[in-house]
Homo-oligomer: A and B are copies of this chain.
Amino acid sequence: MEWGDLRFLLHVVREGSTLAASRVLNTSQSTVMRRIAVLEGQLGLSLFEKRRSGYVPTDTLLGLLGKLEAVEAAHSAFESEARVICRGLSGTVRLTTPELISSHFLKFPLQQFRQLNPDIRIELVASDEYLDLSWEADIALRAGDPPTDGALFGRRIINDTWSVYCSRAYAEANGYPTTTADFGKHGFICIVERARPDRLTEWMNTHFPPDNIVLRHSSLMSAFFSVKAGDGIGICPDMIGMNEPDFIRCMPVDVQTGKEVWLLAHERNRQTPRIRIVLDFLTEHLMKKVQTMRLVMGEKV
């Protein structure tokens, strides 16, 4: 049996047709159909009920699904491990961080790092989703709940506090509020949550006057650039807002989210020299920034 046929099988089960599966597999529909046919012949089993509306898995196939998924998991584990080894051999460190932190906060320090360490190549993955630190990335700078995964190690950088900010241009033109009582005279920029609203969303819904919301953005990133453009007033993590020279901090967002910013890596990389070098550099850089912020904001961060 050709092992690759099982990849075709898996995708037809998942997508429901040879056509849809061919799109995922980046091949032609007739190829998928033929590979399934060959597999059925070799196993001596009917795996699908072929209909014009698609391929419907038989009970026989459903009974094999667990084993099939285990095959996929084993291949994924192999490929993941191969990628980890490949990165190690090439002297690459893969760093993941949210979009905003990536583009706004790390660009300059990473330029510095590259000058100091030309042998270490940092591959930056900007993603608002968490990456798996056992294989998808080596280091994460992430904001969120404190980590609970015992296989990770690292340090807490700062509490993830937020404040209301506007741009200098906006303030010069309109003034800026220092209490929520002043909100009525200003325009606001909202961040629309796709997921269930969290406490920050609730705070905005409670305090931003509904009639004064001039823009709604679907991501923090786009909201940030809208505030920076002077379109209105919005909320922003202090770690970003405090370090943006064009921003004026109006007032704190008085919410206990429990979120923190952490710099993390996988336990097995604790002794990996090139990963430690990047971690130590980032830690030093970030702690200096945090000290500066503490001078301004006190112990809350």
Chain A interface (Cβ < 8 Å from any Cβ of B): 1-4, 6-7, 43-45, 60, 63-64, 67-68, 70-71, 73-75, 77-79, 81-82, 85-86, 89-90
Contacts and interface: CB of A to CB of B under 8 A. Distances in A.
A85 B70 CA distance: 18
A45 B81 CA distance: 12
A60 B85 CA distance: 7
A74 B67 contact: yes
A75 B43 contact: no
Nearest to A59: B85
Given A45-B86, A60-B89, A85-B45, A71 B68 contact: no
Contacts of A86: 43-45
A71 B74 contact: yes
Contacts of A64: 78, 81-82, 85
Number of copies of this chain in the oligomer? 2
A43 B77 CA distance: 13
Given A7-B3, A85-B45, A85-B63, A78 B68 contact: yes
Given A67-B77, A77-B70, A89-B60, A82 B2 contact: no
B85 A78 contact: no
14 contacts: A1-B75, A1-B79, A3-B3, A6-B78, A45-B82, A45-B89, A60-B85, A63-B85, A64-B81, A70-B78, A71-B71, A71-B75, A71-B78, A74-B75
> What are the 7 closest A-B residue pairs judged by CB atoms, nearest first?
A74-B74, A3-B3, A67-B78, A71-B74, A3-B4, A4-B4, A70-B74
A159 to B, nearest CB: 40
Nearest to A68: B78
A117 to B, nearest CB: 22
A63 B82 CA distance: 9
A79 to B, nearest CB: 6
Nearest to A63: B85
Contacts of A71: 71, 74-75, 78
Given A44-B86, A45-B89, A71-B71, 19 more contacts: A1-B75, A2-B4, A3-B3, A3-B4, A3-B6, A3-B75, A4-B4, A6-B75, A43-B79, A44-B90, A45-B86, A63-B85, A64-B82, A67-B81, A70-B74, A70-B77, A71-B74, A74-B74, A74-B75
